[in-house]
């Protein structure tokens, strides 16, 4: 049951916002904020009002059912309406509870995605490249903007590591469950006897932090410059343009050498550092909030195996929700990526709802 005082508060807030927005007496900044609040409430207010009027509607139908003067057909119709009303109340209650769940401030932020080859040598680097191409295709389909921050290629043409910034609408909320170990099972091109090999890549998705989110003091940083280690002869290697930034309080270290400019490398390095510090603080708060609850979806820890891509059988399996899609090719093309994300989000919501009870 949802306390009726919370329901009344939602109805009152919606009514008040409606009056304020139609008054024409709000400045532009507050108008934008209140419009957003009103829009969010608009999505749920119908269910809220129905939930609030449930007891009254139920009593009215029960009176009809219990009235001996009413004909059988009328009573049957009222019984049917009562059953539907009870079912609707359960649906409304679930929707309202989801609406009332604490919001993750990071959900609407852009994201930084980091992909690294794991166990499996050159084959792991090829798989890391495949994962990056998949996320590129997802970005293209959703009209998100993807910008490379740094990239390190392997001898086989794969990727040892790639870091990119993704900008758009609700990026982090869509991609946050991608963090973890992604495992691949397939026959490498170099395998002459057709044996299936298993290798892995790790993915970390961080909410992109702004300067207002994380205040980094210069005194807390140690910045070292060194010569970039790219192919010989490139101008990027002729000066000490590479930057290594150490955040002393947290011990987080970021190296950046993709740009020819030391200043540009420092800017990119600080962008990654800021997001890693922000995520570290978020994880601490989340652990405090949910220390009594074991999440099936997981913590987003990059050491946790979350998904297997099985090429011989053409399937992709998410181990957190036991979901298998027999459409591996389509998944890697970004075609059915949303199906996986929707199921992960639903499971996460169910877990949060259980924790409220």
Q: 351: which 2 tokens?
A: 């877990």
Which residues have C-beta within 8 Å of that of residue 211, sequence separation ≥ 6? 274
Count of domains for the chain? 3
Tally Cβ neighbours within 10 Å of residue 199.
22
Domain C-terminal end among 239, 262, 287: 287
Are 162 and 112 contacting, i.e. CB atoms less than 8 angstroms apart? no
Residue 293 domain-assigned (yes or no): no
Which residues have C-beta within 8 Å of that of residue 266, sequence separation ≥ 6? 223, 243, 245, 256
Supply the DSSP symbol for 220: G
Reference 164, options 121, 200, 214, 129; nearest CA is 129
pLDDT at 238 over 70: no
Shared-domain flag, residues 208 and 309 = yes
Residue 292 domain-assigned (yes or no): no
pLDDT at 236 over 50: no
Who has greater pLDDT, 236 or 10?
A: 10
Shared-domain flag, residues 129 and 199 = yes
Shared-domain flag, residues 159 and 283 = no
**Per-residue model confidence as pLDDT tens digits over 119-155:** 998 999 999 999 999 999 999 999 999 999 999 999 8
Please identify which residue in the block is written with the tokens 């978020």: 282
Mean pLDDT, residues 332-356: 87
Rounded-to-integer distance, Cα 19 and Cα 34, Å: 11
pLDDT at 235: 45
Supply the DSSP symbol for 68: T
Rounded-to-integer distance, Cα 327 and Cα 195, Å: 22
Domain C-terminal end among 287, 320, 341: 287
Residue 294 domain-assigned (yes or no): no
Please identify which residue in the block is written with the tokens 């019984």: 79
Residue 79 domain-assigned (yes or no): yes
**Per-residue model confidence as pLDDT tens digits over 31-65:** 888 998 898 899 899 999 999 999 999 999 999 99
CATH number of the domain where residue 202 is located: 3.30.70.1660
Structural domain range at position 190: 111-212+303-356
Shared-domain flag, residues 275 and 133 = no
Q: What is the mean pLDDT of the chain?
A: 88
**Per-residue model confidence as pLDDT tens digits over 223-232:** 998 887 654 3
Shared-domain flag, residues 228 and 318 = no
Shared-domain flag, residues 150 and 39 = no
State the pTM of this model: 0.71
**Per-residue model confidence as pLDDT tens digits over 169-209:** 889 999 999 999 999 999 987 776 789 999 999 999 999 98
pLDDT at 301: 56
Shared-domain flag, residues 88 and 137 = no
Mean pLDDT, residues 1-16: 91
Residue 105 domain-assigned (yes or no): no
pLDDT at 232: 38
Which residues have C-beta within 8 Å of that of residue 71, sequence separation ≥ 6? none
pLDDT at 293: 44
**Per-residue model confidence as pLDDT tens digits over 247-296:** 999 999 999 988 888 898 999 999 999 999 988 888 887 776 555 444 55
Shared-domain flag, residues 195 and 123 = yes
pLDDT at 290: 58
- Range of lowest pLDDT (5-9, 54-58, 235-239, 240-244): 235-239
Shared-domain flag, residues 169 and 231 = no
Phi, psi of 19 (to 5 degrees): -65, -45
pLDDT at 202: 96
**Per-residue model confidence as pLDDT tens digits over 72-102:** 999 999 999 999 999 999 999 988 988 888 7
Shared-domain flag, residues 191 and 320 = yes
Residue 351 domain-assigned (yes or no): yes
CATH number of the domain where residue 240 is located: 3.30.160.20
Shared-domain flag, residues 201 and 169 = yes
């Amino acid at each position: 049951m949802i306390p009726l005082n919370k329901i009344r508060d939602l109805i009152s807030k919606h009514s008040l916002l409606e009056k304020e927005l139609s008054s024409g007496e709000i400045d532009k900044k507050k108008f934008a904020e209140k419009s957003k609040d009103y829009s969010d409430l608009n999505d749920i207010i119908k269910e809220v009002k129905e939930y609030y009027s449930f007891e009254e509607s139920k009593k009215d139908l029960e009176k009809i059912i219990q009235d001996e003067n009413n004909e059988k057909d009328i009573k049957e119709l009222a019984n049917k309406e009562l059953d539907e009303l009870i079912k609707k109340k359960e649906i409304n209650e679930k929707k309202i509870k989801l609406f009332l769940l604490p919001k993750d401030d990071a959900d609407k932020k852009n994201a930084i995605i980091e992909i690294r080859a794991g166990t499996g040598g050159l084959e792991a680097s090829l798989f890391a490249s495949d994962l990056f191409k998949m996320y590129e295709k997802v970005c293209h389909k959703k009209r998100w903007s993807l910008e490379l921050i740094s990239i390190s290629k392997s001898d086989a043409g794969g990727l040892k590591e790639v870091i990119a910034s993704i900008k758009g609408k609700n990026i982090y909320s869509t991609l946050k469950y991608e963090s973890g170990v992604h495992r691949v099972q397939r026959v490498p091109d170099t395998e002459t006897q057709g044996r299936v090999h298993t290798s892995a890549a790790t993915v970390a998705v961080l909410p992109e932090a702004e300067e207002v989110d994380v205040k980094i003091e210069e005194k807390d940083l140690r910045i070292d410059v060194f010569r970039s280690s790219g192919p010989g002869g490139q101008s990027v290697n002729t000066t000490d343009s590479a930057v290594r930034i150490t955040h002393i309080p947290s011990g987080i270290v970021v190296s950046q050498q993709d740009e020819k400019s030391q200043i540009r490398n420092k800017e990119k390095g600080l962008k990654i550092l800021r997001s890693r510090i922000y995520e570290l603080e978020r994880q601490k708060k989340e652990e405090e909030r949910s220390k009594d609850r074991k999440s099936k979806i997981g913590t987003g820890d990059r050491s946790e195996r979350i998904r297997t891509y099985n090429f011989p059988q053409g399937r992709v399996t998410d181990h957190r929700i036991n979901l298998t899609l027999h459409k591996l090719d389509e998944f890697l093309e970004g075609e059915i990526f949303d199906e996986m994300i929707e199921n992960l989000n639903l499971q996460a919501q169910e877990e949060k709802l259980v924790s409220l009870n």
